[in-house]
Structure 1
Amino acid sequence: MKVFLWNETGKEKEIMLEDDQITVPADKGKYIYEVLAEWKNGEISYTFVAEVQ
């Protein structure tokens, strides 16, 4: 499984998982994440927004 942080222009960077968890930045803002899982017979991708207030 891979997790990517996105910005307005595309994938910004890959996020490292720690115990199958991510840590969002402490700075206020909206962060777009994509979770990608791949198997022999296919793949799936989920995208979500985390808002830090």
Structure 2
Amino acid sequence: MHGINPYTYLTDVLLRVSSHPASEVADLTPRLWKANPLRSDLHRKVNSASE
């Protein structure tokens, strides 16, 4: 629906949900995440390995 890769989104959100401020939980919804993807360290490692 939002045109994002579900694996990338869920990986990023699940890795940071425990440390993300509860007052900013809306940032983790697909609509807001797409506008400003937070990207975890895992995302950077996967992308650098594929280069």
- Classify the TM-score, shorter chain: under 0.3
Length-normalised TM-score, structure 1: 0.26
Length-normalised TM-score, structure 2: 0.26
Q: Which has the larger radius of gyration?
A: 1
Instruction: Identify, as 1 or 2, the structure richer in strand.
Output: 1
